[in-house]
Amino acid sequence: MTLSLAPADLRPLTALRFIAAAWVVLYTFWPNLDVGFLPNLAAKGYLGVELFFVLSGFILSHVYLQAAGEGGFKYGSFLWARLARVYPLHLMTLLGVMALGLAATAAGMAIDGSVLSWESLPANLLLLHAWGLAPEAGWNHPSWSISAEWFAYLCFPAFAFVTWRLRERPWLAVLGAAVMLLGLYAAFQLMAGFPLTQATIRWGALRIVPCFALGCTLYLVHRSGGVPRPALAAAVFGALIVASSSLMLWDGITVLLAGGLILSLGSVSNARAGILASAPAVYLGEISYSIYMICAPWQILAVNLAARATGAEDKKLQLFVWLPVIAAIPIAAAVTYHLVERPARKALRDMAERRNQRRTEQKSQAQLA
């Protein structure tokens, strides 16, 4: 097998995270723009979450698959690292929505009645609200996907077990994952009456499974050498994603194209990735989780304030008002990234390292005794 020579940090894929987050932002905020129409590309912005899910399977396999396959995987440490990555910002945004919701209610501002869903609070705090365990969608609603991610993290050993055993037949693994994805999408829509790609708190844990599996198997292709002419392939897949979304093709097609884009960009060397490997693009990718997680709180705060200031009772903002609201999102995300996400992640990981160091010292002392 020819192993990929792509760099370990995969900077273009970090930048791709920002593109996925921006797609979700467009989907979330377009209804607040007073233009009277909804472009198909914006209407399909919920698929940015699918892009995240596929990318998550790919990246976690990139980091952990070999250790899992060769017996060096530490499940507890893995889960702690993932929890340190996602939970502090989840908790902060949940509390932020709580504060904004209570303040908006006190000020007489109109908010969705389900935002302060006290019955759903325990499931949200425990990251179980995408497992069908929350009575309704509430609080920071986009965090349902973090609950789905948590489900995938818990199940990662099972994904890794299957993926590792198919490492010598990567394209067969991808074909199997693609067939599973398309079959599950078709069966779910037939039984539920709506696409799995639009499921959130009821079926979010199921929604991530085919995407995460696809990402894991795509990593096998990357590991075996990637794709030829990856920069050209990435450009083609990117254009096809825009076309399929604009033409409102079946979501399954777009998700498979997103997988092709991830595989192609993962095969592009940092030296040849151009703007996608630049420091600004990588930084935006690093704060993409914050961008995604502050969407709902920022919509509650900024849109309500802008609507009041301009007299837009229907919360439909003029373009010259809407654009600054959107442009401020990366700025707000940078603040939460540097004040909450990054330091909290470091603190929790340092805590784990100190605990491991104490255990090592205790074992050494016991052996000397």
Per-residue pLDDT tens, the chain, 369 aa: give them: 444 444 467 899 999 999 999 999 999 999 999 998 999 999 999 999 999 999 999 999 999 999 999 999 999 999 999 999 999 999 999 999 898 888 877 777 666 777 888 999 999 999 999 999 999 988 999 999 999 999 999 999 999 999 999 999 999 999 999 999 999 999 999 999 999 999 999 999 999 999 999 999 999 999 999 899 999 999 999 999 999 999 999 999 999 999 999 999 999 988 888 899 999 999 999 999 999 999 988 998 899 889 989 988 888 999 999 999 999 999 999 999 999 999 999 999 999 898 888 887 777 777 666
Q: Which of 14, 20, 17, 21 is nearest to 282 (CA)?
A: 14
Cα–Cα distance measured from residue 150 to residue 204, given in angstroms and rounded to the nearest whole number: 11
pTM (global) more than 0.75: yes
Residue 220: exposure state from Cβ atoms within 10 A (0-12, 13-18, ≥19): buried
**Token couple for 318:** 């003029």
Are 111 and 103 in contact by the 8 Å Cβ rule? The answer is no
> 33: helix, coil or strand?
strand
Taking each helix axis from N to C terminus, what angle separates 144-154 and 47-70, rounded to the nearest 10 degrees?
A: 20
Residues in the chain: 369
